[in-house]
Amino acid sequence: MIKGLLRFVVAVIFILSGFVKAVDLVGFSFKMEEYFSPTVFNMPFFEKFALLFSVIVVILELLLGFMLLLKLKLKFTLSALIALCVFFGFLTFYSAYFNVVTDCGCFGDAIKFTPWQSFIKDIVLLLALLILFVLYRKDFRKKDTYSYSGKKESNKIQYILLAVFSLVMVGIGAYGILYEPVIDFRDYKIGTDLKAEKEKINKNPSEYKTFYSLKNEKTGETLKVDQDAYIRENKYWAEGSPWKIEEGKNESVLIKEGYKSEIVKFKIEDPTGMDVTEEIINAPRAILVFSYHPKEVSPELLKQVEAKVKTQKANIVYGVSTEPNTFKTLKNMMMDGTAIKTIARSNPFILVLENGKIIDKQPAKEYIK
């Protein structure tokens, strides 16, 4: 009973992890792009294959997790899951130790883990899998344990369930790629009040402290001091002081966790740098057309979207992208590309707000139908 319960728990964890990523495969591919970026593994040539890699990883998680739940090909399943866990463990340790990817995306946007929490989770899962491997060693088949060939197994129902499960997951994943996630785990789901979220963030902001890296030009000694100590001790900054700040080595450390929300990144500016966020979230009705990769969007599609948007009744109608001249007939506004990707996965997409509340969000291709 104990080994059956442990198997069930581990299987469900892998299935849930795969499911939340399958719902939003495009979002998971953005996370893969981070790992391939020059600041992490420096393999930018793999970035264009990020979605393919995401699909492969999610398929492995879902199928192996479900196979473990059904006790199908146990030796193969456990061995593959152990290998997968070792791979994830390496990624999360690298992220945590070098502080390069702050969220591994293990459970998509549904559950957020810090890099060290993700690494600990992977180690616990790996230990659980190793224990299961030992506990079930007597149940392993002596022949064809690592293949699907050979004598047919009698458990047809399990394979039918696996096939049905696979088809459902393929449908959910495909829908998320072509349109938007079936289930929206993001902070920007329809019904979210951006104005209320902004107020919560302002009332309970996160607090950071800057640590300066100093070097004594006379002795070569280096040390780190926080901003308070630096201001208090005039020996660090007085005229003629041998202590100099080392550029590029200062650190900003979180000392108090405030209200956490991705809405903190919702900041829209005009091409001159003027912040228009408050104007947008206070408007009775605002329609925004977003694009995080404007160069990849068909000019004809943009033309159709702009034409339809201008016929809608709204106090504010803006085009928001990473380039200042993306839109031809709409006022161009600017926003960070990563922040735009957080709102929706389609490129481009339309966001409709009423008094700061999201009432509609859909891909441009669906909007113009």
Single-letter amino acid code for the residue at 158: Q
SS3 188: coil
Residue 287 β-bridge partners? 317, 352
CB atoms near residue 77 (< 10 Å):
24
Distance CA 119, CA 113 (A): 9
This model's pTM is above 0.85:
no
CB atoms near residue 2 (< 10 Å):
8
- 148 exposure class (CB count in 10 Å sphere: 0-12, 13-18, 19+): exposed
SS3 255: strand
SS3 241: coil
Nearest alpha-carbon partner for 350 in 324, 50, 311, 325 = 311
- CB of 95 within 8 A of CB of 115? yes
Nearest alpha-carbon partner for 290 in 354, 363, 190 = 363
Nearest alpha-carbon partner for 244 in 226, 217, 225 = 217
From first to last of its 369 residues, the chain has per-residue pLDDT tens of 888 999 999 999 999 999 999 999 998 888 888 888 887 888 888 888 989 999 999 999 999 999 999 998 899 999 999 999 999 889 888 888 887 776 666 766 667 777 788 899 999 999 999 999 998 888 775 544 444 444 445 688 999 999 999 999 999 999 998 888 888 888 899 999 999 999 999 999 888 888 999 999 989 999 999 988 888 988 898 888 999 998 878 888 878 888 888 899 999 999 999 999 999 999 999 999 999 999 999 999 999 999 999 999 899 999 999 998 999 999 999 999 989 999 998 999 999 999 999 999 999 999 998
Distance CA 101, CA 95 (A): 5
Distance CA 23, CA 62 (A): 12
- 344 exposure class (CB count in 10 Å sphere: 0-12, 13-18, 19+): buried
Q: What structural domains and CATH numbers belong to the chain?
A: 1-141+155-178 (no CATH), 192-198+262-368 (3.40.30.10), 207-256 (no CATH)
Among all chains, which residue has been given the structure tokens 């050979």? 150
Residue 294: which H helix or E strand, with range?
A: none
Distance CA 68, CA 78 (A): 7
pLDDT value for 5: 93
Q: DSSP letter string over 40-106?
A: TT--GGGGGGHHHHHHHHHHHHHHHHHHHHHT-SHHHHHHHHHHHHHHHHHHHHHHHHHT--S---T
pLDDT value for 145: 46
Q: How many CA atoms lie within 13 A of 318 on its CB side?
A: 22
